[in-house]
Amino acid sequence: MVKKKACVFISGSGTNLKSIIKNSRDYNFPINISLVVTNNKTAKGIIFAKKFSIPYICLNTDQYKFEKIILKKLNENKIKLICLAGFMKILSKKFIRDFRGKIINIHPSLLPKYKGLNTFNRVLKSKDKITGCTVHFVDEKLDNGKTIIQKRVLIGSKDDAKTLKKRVQFEEYRAYTNAIHKIYELN
Ligand code: GRF
């Protein structure tokens, strides 16, 4: 199988990055992670790019410069899919339009519920019995594009933000993998 080249954008711990890289080593996985991008030089996730010998770029600058440099790198590396995984920098409408249908994101809730930050505390304050995660295409609005896949997690009466996050993240790794398979099955 000819794998498409993909890039993962991170800002933090990079556990989704790690999971995607591991899965991408599978012969039947439709993408190969050829590049990692971060805006945070202290992002723990950089360790996974290093560990798996994947080139990475760390760039902490204004949006215009960031996107100009990254766009050049994406084109040079023939990147066909951008996976956002805990990437905390806002991308411009132009950048998103230029990559329409080729940027996906993971969010720790069952969208359209709980868009934005601080998801777990807001979920716990609600009376919801179920939460989960969503992998979706990125459009110009925050946490808004078409859903590719969702995974559900039951909220226990003893859950706090930490325990819930742990269980949701476990589902995130499965969700991201399934979503990437799904995208290329549809194409
Ligand atoms: C994930 O929980 C994801 O839903 C959110 O950011 C977190 C990133 O975690 N968008 P990690 O960096 O992959 O560990």
Per-residue pLDDT of the chain (187 residues; tens, 9 = 90+): 789 999 999 999 999 999 999 999 999 999 999 999 999 999 999 999 999 999 999 999 999 999 999 999 999 999 999 999 999 999 999 999 999 899 999 999 999 999 999 999 999 999 899 999 999 999 999 999 999 999 999 999 999 999 999 999 999 999 999 999 999 985 5
Atom of ligand 1 nearest to the CA of 10: 12
Tokens of 46: 């950089």
Q: Distance between CA 141 and CA 181 in Å, rounded?
A: 25
Which residues make beta-bridge pairs with 150? 134
The whole-number pLDDT of residue 186 equals 55
Contacts of 63 (CB under 8 A, 6+ apart): 89, 90, 91, 92
Atom of ligand 1 nearest to the CA of 17: 13
Residue ranges around ligand 1 (CB below 6 Å): 10, 12-17, 45, 85-86, 106-108, 133, 169, 172
- Give the residue among 120, 105, 97 at the shortest CA–CA distance from 167: 120
- Give the residue among 7, 80, 84 at the shortest CA–CA distance from 49: 7
Whole-number Å distance, alpha carbon 3 to ligand 1 midpoint, is 25
8 A C-beta contact, residue 173 and residue 16: yes
The protein residue whose alpha carbon is closest to atom 10 in ligand 1 is 86
pTM, 2 dp: 0.96
User: Phi/psi at 20 (nearest 5 deg)?
Assistant: -65, -45
Look at the block and give the residue holding tokens 């946490």: 143
Contacts of 52 (CB under 8 A, 6+ apart): 21, 33
Options 4, 18, 107, 136, the catalytic residue: 107
The strand pair at 4-10 and 81-84 is best described as: parallel
Atom of ligand 1 nearest to the CA of 172: 4
The whole-number pLDDT of residue 127 equals 85
Mutate-to-test residue for ligand 1 from 169, 170, 174, 176, highest number of ligand atoms within 8 A of CB? 169
- Active-site annotation holds for 136: no
